[in-house]
Structure 1
Amino acid sequence: MTSESSAPYRGLIDAGVLDAAVLLEAERSAARRGISCEHILLHELGVARCALLETLAQYYGCAFLQYDERLPVPTELFAGLDPKQLQAQAWFPVRKLENIVIIAAVDPNDAAMRDAVRQHLPASAYEFRVALREDVSWYIQDYLHAEAPLLIGIERTGLAYWRNTMAHWRTKLAAHRTAHARARTSMKLLRWGLAMIALANVLTHLTSNVLAPYHLPILLAGILLALIGLVDYLRVRKARMDLPCSRELFDITIENIRFTQRYHLPEAPVHPQDDSHLARLAAAIPNHCSVLRPVPASKERTHLARERNILAAQRTIAASQRTSYARARTGLSLIRTGVAFIGLAIAIHKLLGESPYSFTEYLLVGAGTLMLFDGLLWYLPARRLKYGMGRELPR
């Protein structure tokens, strides 16, 4: 014999899904543990959702409604409703067909629930359909914006928005790194050009200051390469002066990943690899593992969407670090080239033993000095970012 509280599920016995003894034990277990019998039937006894809904629909004499996150619920239906009251009475408005409002309810025949619907949701006609308790809870959580650990369906729209925001930021950082690579390539052309000019100058001095026929192509090729490299480098530098420096890089990355703090797992702390701000920021996002449940599939996709956002935040931090290192490499390359050409000018002067310095040597010293100072402008902000600026991470 089954008790009166398990009466809605007796159809499962008639359909041969469960034995009467199993259903009675499920009801007793639910009472002892303070959970619904529905939860035990679905998640412990493995009763199919459709079978359970069909049984409930036969019992209550109405159609059933299954949770579907794609269902477009009009805002006018749920605006201003109290989620706690909806949870207590187990109902939620899901559709409006012409003048008929469709209500998903755990007990469609509950008179108190029907009175509450008429009081809070005036309409000319209502249609009450039976739904599972957890389905009603998911509708309430989705459309009335519960806390982050509970949000499911429409939460993915917000998650997708933030993934797009971080993707835009990473795309901009990738463009900056490409600009740095182009600047270093232009600088190599400039370096080759100046080296060929210096070579032509040395060869000319070694032949009694006579510009030999085979010296001229070297000189012209050097001038051409140097001009191409200089023009391209100046063009890149002018277009990319908005490259993020230490403070801007740190602040923008924080704003892009701040929202992921809602999805942190406090039981999975991660220690920063070093004392830099980006390393400590990365440690603020612990390793994220989704707890997946097979039903419904939409809920599983939401957990996966949360995990993708955590991974996207980690990629954003890594992209910021790569951009910082790309800036530092560009600066160090400029510094190295500048020092090399200053040393080359001094070496040429000592080798030729002439005084005062020639025009070529002044050119090399001037170009090297400009490269040295420009390299410091690229490198120093990245170094400050690496070793910190004395600021604390936001909480």
Structure 2
Amino acid sequence: MSLYGTMRTGVSGMNAQANRLSTVADNIANANTTGYKKASTQFSSLILPSTGGAYNSGGVTTDVRYSISQQGPFTYTTSATDLAINGQGFFIVTGADGIEYLTRAGAFTVMDDGSMVNSAGFKLMGYQYSSTADPTIVVNGFDGLSEINLSSGSLSATGSTGGALDSNLPSNEPVGYTKTTSLVAYDSQGNTRLLDFIYTKTADNTWTLDVQYNGASIIDPGVQTLNFDADGKLTSPMSIATVAQTINGANFAALNITIGGSTQLNAEFNVSNGKINGNAASEVVGYEISSDGVVSLKYDNGKLEPKYRIAMANVQSPDNLKPLPGNVYAQSNDSGVIVMGYAGNGGYGSILSGALEDSNVDIAEELTSMIEAQRNYTANSKVFQTGSELMDVLVNLKR
């Protein structure tokens, strides 16, 4: 056995325990870091071949591993843009370098330019929302992603295009009976336009319907004749249309209004369904993010307008992702390729709005590891010290 080998073995043991203590220090320092995943030190022995009955002491090497796939507990907040993932997957963010990264740190804030930025300065990425179809996902890449930006939603008005009006017309009223009801519509600038719907009985099972704005008929092509069968059900027409107009510089679009649910029964005049789409000018008062990642603007009139769909990503071996500063991860050779998807489907977790994923560090466990590392470091130093003392004995033999 070589005394120098003994001393080198003690040094390797001290280095290994110092590495372990470094991961413990990082874990404790980031115990309150949102989305942080703890690091651990794994030990592996180094054994040298023994020759001629002499034992050659080897040493120990370390490998740092990350518990990225281990989910942390949740803390609930009052901010709708604080996001956590319940299950598998990562948010996709971009840094100042323009490169996309993965993260579980979802403490996002809407900045003055409309971007959603987390506490490390990374911007959230997603797809433009479509009500007709999900965006096409490039499964193994980030193509098609765009920065989620909510700056365009400060004030919004939507002009009316259609609606419905289902009424019961009293069958026991005499010919010439007239009844008027009204609905509010909106032009392209959000101005309210009050429409009067005038019903007049002209014969048994026959009525006329006129739609007027400011006392002038706007029905297309003219006053409509409503025909009912013997059971009081409307037979024709099933819908009516108005003509488009320009009022004080604003466009008041043609409206298609369904009336197929109207009846003629021996009861009082009654509107069972009356509505027209569109809305007046409204300000954004907040945001709502659904469990499947749809980001919507919330206006002061209660309307929600979907704007983006948050994209998610995953890899085959999350624990082998490459950790980078800012609590983000990059693909490595051992992690597998990045696969894109949406929250709530394809094995991806759901998104919790108003929540944050805490660090998965267990302080009690880390303090225990700290004590173990300290004791083991001391023991390895004793090995080095003993080898050094034996070297002194050997050197002093010549005296």
TM range (shorter): under 0.3
Q: Greater RCO between the two (CA within 8 Å, min separation 6)?
A: 2
TM-score scaled by length of structure 1: 0.20
Structure number having the greater strand percentage: 2
Query: TM-score scaled by structure 2?
Result: 0.19
Tell me which protein shows more helix as a share of its residues.
1
